[in-house]
């Protein structure tokens, strides 16, 4: 089953036709057909065109446009157009403009200029959504609703009086009484006690560090405030246009929004991804983000809603994608569970802030490399159509908790260098290098099916989650827990008795004192004669008799003390890694629990630089994606016979000459393995 009523994989992009005359539209749809485009996202920033002033609507152009694309067999992902409120609305309600923590009201003239808690903005957005839904719910081109655009992009928080009032309402709901808020925020310290909710304000610019729980509650509130806005639009669409799926485009691993919570309100997940062509390791990060997108809906296919065919225009230096990279990175999203590849944007703008951003149809038109690549990719996606609906599943699980992420990065911690993404990346990279695919799980997720669960950091951890981890290990699971975990509870209060708090017994260790490592320095470690180096973070830990020391610190004040421990518990093991290591050293340690748990690579023996993933269809057919991210030609031996869908070639198994396949630099193969062979 596909995400929308469109068969096969989805291909297309944001089409912003309000920039062009209708003659250009006519040319556009012809070229779309030539490129194999089957889905366009229309109207993302069309509010001012749809509603020219407070008293009029103009749908005529959109009627003609939808009829035109439909006549060319192209389906529409219709946007609710609410991300950029028009000037007339802003001037009538200047209070809807967002305010920064310093009290600066952000002006009209860009986009995303709205306060999430503004009633005027919300009413106008809901009204526009209702008008669009009512008019187009039965249009035959409509297959998908695209709510708003990238919630939290540019503006993720607003400190205006309306937001302050909304925050107080949220706090009342969460805490009930002001006494409870005082307790939760620890306001006894620094004389921060409140007598009533009316005295509470958002964490605006203040003389020194703001109360950490206040900031943590603020982060929770900001994610919820934008989600409330999203749900208001979604409710209108569900009511008026039931049966048409609804999505909003996420921004990969984005700190400000708790996507576990958000994705519960999506019919499917879609993502915008802009890996940097100048970064030779960008594909590793991209893989990580795609794994999260797939995991948000427990493995269901997702949609790459936006990517750039070549360069973007918002980095200081915008490097284009060299030949082959666009194709490789597009197919990488499919390899990790996407059912389509869409772009920003269809036709390159000649005016406005993004006129230097690449597009499927570049300024040069159909003459150059860009257009050729657009057409070629469209044709290849058609060849891969049967992949749609199949699912990928990771072999290990990684825990990700937004609450903990927010709390970890609050101010005045032992080290400002402990950032979630910096902690996660070496763990992910180590698994990626080993060809071990992963799914992300929320702390309350179902761990049972994963032989290994990795928690690179769980700074904020409640006892219920700790109990579940304990049960997982007792039942035979292998848990690896990273440093500075089990530190605080949901109020960001320290768990007494020493870190890792509620995990102390399970891990068999207690932290006497965290020992951050100054920038530029390292601490030496020993793993069975192999020297490793910790950076940024180490801990003075004491292991109890149940925990074995696997790695020791060998230099500095922690010399000869335990650094990595393993405790056997029930049928499983619980590992504690007390320091921060680079990807290579993290991998040397992760190898131990991976081997113990019997976790293997998706395709063992892969040459360096080649990524392998497997999607499975309901009938048991497997699709093995092989992607060569390297600069050298690589030969891959195959253990099952099957067909490369891109070339139509039947491939033979074995390692002799003429068997397996050779991947050119940036080359890709998508190998169909019939159910009979796959089960063998
Ligand atoms: C996205 C945004 C698009 C476009 C694109 C450029 O963040 O949703 O509208 O601005 O970036 O890369
Ligand atoms: Zn506001």
- Write the pLDDT tens digit of every residue in 524-534: 999 999 999 99
Task: Ligand 1, residue 308: give the atom nearest the CA.
Answer: 12
Parallel, antiparallel, or unpaired for β 572-577 and 562-569?
antiparallel
- For residue 620, what is the DSSP state? S
Task: Ligand 1, residue 45: give the atom nearest the CA.
Answer: 9
What distance in Å separates the CA atoms of residue 194 and residue 176, rounded to the nearest whole number? Answer: 14
Average pLDDT over residues 271-289: 98
Task: Ligand 1, residue 314: give the atom nearest the CA.
Answer: 12
Beta strands in 406-521 (DSSP E): 438-441, 452-455, 478-481, 509-514
Name the nearest CA neighbour of 394 among 114, 602, 140, 605.
602
How many helices (H) and strands (E) in the chain? 18, 28
The pLDDT assigned to 543 comes to: 97
* pTM for this prediction: 0.98
Average pLDDT over residues 571-577: 98
Answer whether 357 contacts ligand 1 (Cβ < 6 A): yes
Of 157, 233, 266, 306, catalytic: 306
pLDDT of residue 679 exceeding 80: no
CA of 161 to the centre of ligand 2 (A): 6
pLDDT interval class at 64 (50, 70, 90): very high
Residues of the chain with pLDDT > 70, as a percent, come to 99
pLDDT interval class at 288 (50, 70, 90): very high
Determine whether 513 is an active site residue.
Answer: no
CA of 402 to the centre of ligand 1 (A): 24
Average pLDDT over residues 151-155: 96
Answer whether 344 contacts ligand 1 (Cβ < 6 A): yes
Answer whether 149 contacts ligand 1 (Cβ < 6 A): yes
Q: Whose CA is nearest to atom 12 of ligand 1?
A: 312
CA of 43 to the centre of ligand 2 (A): 25
204 alpha carbon, closest ligand: 2
The pLDDT assigned to 651 comes to: 78
What distance in Å separates the CA atoms of residue 510 and residue 498, rounded to the nearest whole number? Answer: 6
Contacts of 180 (CB under 8 A, 6+ apart): none
CB 537 within 8 A of CB 558: no
Average pLDDT over residues 559-575: 98
157 alpha carbon, closest ligand: 2
Q: Whose CA is nearest to atom 5 of ligand 1?
A: 344
CA of 251 to the centre of ligand 2 (A): 22
The pLDDT assigned to 678 comes to: 73
Using one digit for the tens of pLDDT, what is the confidence trace for 584-638?
A: 999 999 999 999 999 999 999 999 999 999 999 999 999 999 999 999 999 998 8
Answer whether 271 contacts ligand 1 (Cβ < 6 A): no
Q: Whose CA is nearest to atom 11 of ligand 1?
A: 344
What tokens does 91 get? 């001037």
Answer whether 591 contacts ligand 1 (Cβ < 6 A): no
CB 313 within 8 A of CB 354: yes
pLDDT of residue 640 exceeding 90: no
Which of 43, 80, 148, 272 best tests ligand 1's pocket when mutated (most atoms within 8 Å of CB)?
A: 272
CB 250 within 8 A of CB 293: yes
CA of 220 to the centre of ligand 1 (A): 25
Using one digit for the tens of pLDDT, what is the confidence trace for 357-414?
A: 999 999 999 999 999 999 999 999 999 999 999 999 999 999 999 999 999 999 999 9
Answer whether 306 contacts ligand 1 (Cβ < 6 A): yes
Q: Whose CA is nearest to atom 3 of ligand 1?
A: 344
Answer whether 321 contacts ligand 1 (Cβ < 6 A): no
pLDDT interval class at 657 (50, 70, 90): low
Answer whether 272 contacts ligand 1 (Cβ < 6 A): yes
pLDDT of residue 655 exceeding 60: no
CA of 222 to the centre of ligand 2 (A): 10
Task: Ligand 1, residue 44: give the atom nearest the CA.
Answer: 9
Mean pLDDT of the chain: 97
Q: Whose CA is nearest to atom 4 of ligand 1?
A: 344
CA of 159 to the centre of ligand 2 (A): 5
Answer whether 312 contacts ligand 1 (Cβ < 6 A): yes
What distance in Å separates the CA atoms of residue 292 and residue 288, rounded to the nearest whole number? Answer: 6
Of 150, 266, 373, 611, catalytic: 150
What distance in Å separates the CA atoms of residue 477 and residue 269, rounded to the nearest whole number? Answer: 29
Determine whether 386 is an active site residue.
Answer: no
Name the nearest CA neighbour of 484 among 589, 591, 580.
580
Answer whether 274 contacts ligand 1 (Cβ < 6 A): yes
pLDDT of residue 539 exceeding 90: yes
pLDDT interval class at 324 (50, 70, 90): very high
153 alpha carbon, closest ligand: 1
What distance in Å separates the CA atoms of residue 272 and residue 111, rounded to the nearest whole number? Answer: 17
101 alpha carbon, closest ligand: 2
Residue with the two structure tokens 């948000």: 296
Answer whether 150 contacts ligand 1 (Cβ < 6 A): yes
Using one digit for the tens of pLDDT, what is the confidence trace for 471-522?
A: 999 999 999 999 999 999 999 999 999 999 999 999 999 999 999 999 999 9
353 alpha carbon, closest ligand: 1
Q: Whose CA is nearest to atom 9 of ligand 1?
A: 344
What distance in Å separates the CA atoms of residue 339 and residue 300, rounded to the nearest whole number? Answer: 10
What tokens does 135 get? 């008019």
Which of 43, 110, 152, 354 best tests ligand 1's pocket when mutated (most atoms within 8 Å of CB)?
A: 354
pLDDT of residue 92 exceeding 90: yes
CA of 148 to the centre of ligand 1 (A): 12
CA 204 from centre of chain: 28
pLDDT interval class at 677 (50, 70, 90): confident
Name the nearest CA neighbour of 114 among 145, 82, 140.
82
pLDDT of residue 1 exceeding 60: no
Residues of the chain with pLDDT > 90, as a percent, come to 95
112 alpha carbon, closest ligand: 1
CA of 344 to the centre of ligand 1 (A): 6
pLDDT of residue 323 exceeding 90: yes
Answer whether 111 contacts ligand 1 (Cβ < 6 A): no
pLDDT of residue 654 exceeding 70: no
Average pLDDT over residues 288-303: 98
CA of 198 to the centre of ligand 1 (A): 39
């Amino acid at each position: 089953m596909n995400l929308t009523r469109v068969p096969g994989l989805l291909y297309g992009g944001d089409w912003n036709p309000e920039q062009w005359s209708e003659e250009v539209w006519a040319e556009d749809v012809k070229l779309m057909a030539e490129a194999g485009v089957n889905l366009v996202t229309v109207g993302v920033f069309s509010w001012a065109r749809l509603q020219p002033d407070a008293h009029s609507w103009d749908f005529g152009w959109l009627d003609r446009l939808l009829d035109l694309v439909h006549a060319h067999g192209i389906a529409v992902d219709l946007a609710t157009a609410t991300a950029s409120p028009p000037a007339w609305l802003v001037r009538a309600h200047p209070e809807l403009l967002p305010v920064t923590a310093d009290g600066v009201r952000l002006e009209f003239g860009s986009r995303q200029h709205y306060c999430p808690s503004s009633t005027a903005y919300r009413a106008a957005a809901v009204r526009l959504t209702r008008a669009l839904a009512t008019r187009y719910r039965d249009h035959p081109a409509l297959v998908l609703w695209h709510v708003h655009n990238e919630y939290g992009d540019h503006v993720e928080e607003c400190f205006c009086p309306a937001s302050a009032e909304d925050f107080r309402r949220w706090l009342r709901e969460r805490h009930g009484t002001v006494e409870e808020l005082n307790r939760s925020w620890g306001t006894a310290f620094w004389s921060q006690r409140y007598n009533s909710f009316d005295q509470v304000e958002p964490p605006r610019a203040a003389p020194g560090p703001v109360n950490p729980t206040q900031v943590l509650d603020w982060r929770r509130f900001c994610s919820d405030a934008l989600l409330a806005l999203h749900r208001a639009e979604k409710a209108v669409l569900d009511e008026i246009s039931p049966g048409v799926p609804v999505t909003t485009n996420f921004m990969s691993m984005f700190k400000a929004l708790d996507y576990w919570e958000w994705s519960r309100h999506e019919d499917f997940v879609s993502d915008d991804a802009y890996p940097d062509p100048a970064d030779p390791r960008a594909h590793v990060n991209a893989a990580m983000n795609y794994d999260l997108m797939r995991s948000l809906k427990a493995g269901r296919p997702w949609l790459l809603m936006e990517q750039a065919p070549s360069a973007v225009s918002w980095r200081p230096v915008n490097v284009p994608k060299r030949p082959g990279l666009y194709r490789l990175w597009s197919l990488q999203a499919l390899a990790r569970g996407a059912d389509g590849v869409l772009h920003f944007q269809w036709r390159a703008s000649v005016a406005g802030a993004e006129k230097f951003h690449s597009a499927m149809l570049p300024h040069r038109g159909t003459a150059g490399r860009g257009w050729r690549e657009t057409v070629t990719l469209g044709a290849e996606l058609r060849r891969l159509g049967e992949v749609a609906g199949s699912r990928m599943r990771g072999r290990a699980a990684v825990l990700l908790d937004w609450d903990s992420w927010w709390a970890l990065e609050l101010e005045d911690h032992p080290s400002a260098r402990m950032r979630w993404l910096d902690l996660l990346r070496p763990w992910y990279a180590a698994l990626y290098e080993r060809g071990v695919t992963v799914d992300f799980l929320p702390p309350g997720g179902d761990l049972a099916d994963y032989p290994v669960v990795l928690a690179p950091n769980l700074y904020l951890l409640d006892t219920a989650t700790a109990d579940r981890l304990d049960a997982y290990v007792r039942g035979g699971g292998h848990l690896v827990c990273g440093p500075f975990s089990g530190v605080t509870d949901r109020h960001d209060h320290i768990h007494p008795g020493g870190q890792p708090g509620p995990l102390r017994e399970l891990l068999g260790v207690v932290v006497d004192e965290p020992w951050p490592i100054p920038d530029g320095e390292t601490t030496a470690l020993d793993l069975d004669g192999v020297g490793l180096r910790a950076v940024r973070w180490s801990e003075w830990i004491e292991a109890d008799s149940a925990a074995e020391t696997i790695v020791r610190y060998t230099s500095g004040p922690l010399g000869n003390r335990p650094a990595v421990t393993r405790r056997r518990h029930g049928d499983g093991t619980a590992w504690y890694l007390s320091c921060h290591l680079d990807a290579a050293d993290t991998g040397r340690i992760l190898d131990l629990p991976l081997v113990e748990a019997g976790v293997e690579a998706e395709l063992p023996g892969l040459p360096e630089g080649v990524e392998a993933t497997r999607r499975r269809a309901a009938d048991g057919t497997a699709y093995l994606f092989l992607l060569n991210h390297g600069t050298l030609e690589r030969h891959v031996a195959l253990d099952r016979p099957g067909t490369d869908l891109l070339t139509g070639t039947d491939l033979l198994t074995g390692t002799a000459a003429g068997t397996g396949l050779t991947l050119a630099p940036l080359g890709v193969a998508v190998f169909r393995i019939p159910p009979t062979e796959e089960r063998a």
